[in-house]
Amino acid sequence: MNFYAITYTYSPATSDARDRVRPTHVEFLQQRFENGELRVSGPVDSGAGALLVIGAESEQAALALMDQDPFAREGLIEQREIRRWDVFFGKDKL
């Protein structure tokens, strides 16, 4: 299993839409967390974006998973970046 750090950047123009979709977004993330795919996540920069760490076999699998996020399906993510993260310290905690 590999780990991938995914960052979301949001546009201020989508704030109201994100508020509307947030309950289904959180439900989606909760399900991914409970089944072990999502390891940690949360907002960054006072809510201007988010950081998510995904456990997956490949970058493509991690992106395919996050394509299902309601924020992604509704076009509410202005920019999404992914990086493979080779964890040295704390891997057993993820």
Domains and CATH numbers, the chain: 2-86 (3.30.70.1060)
DSSP 8-state class, residue 68 = T
CA distance 43 to 54: 15
Q: DSSP alpha helices (H): ranges in the chain?
A: 15-34, 59-67, 70-73
Query: pTM, whole model, 2 decimals?
Result: 0.91
Per-residue pLDDT of the chain (94 residues; tens, 9 = 90+): 999 999 999 999 999 999 999 999 999 999 999 999 999 999 999 989 999 999 999 999 999 999 999 999 999 999 999 999 998 888 888 7
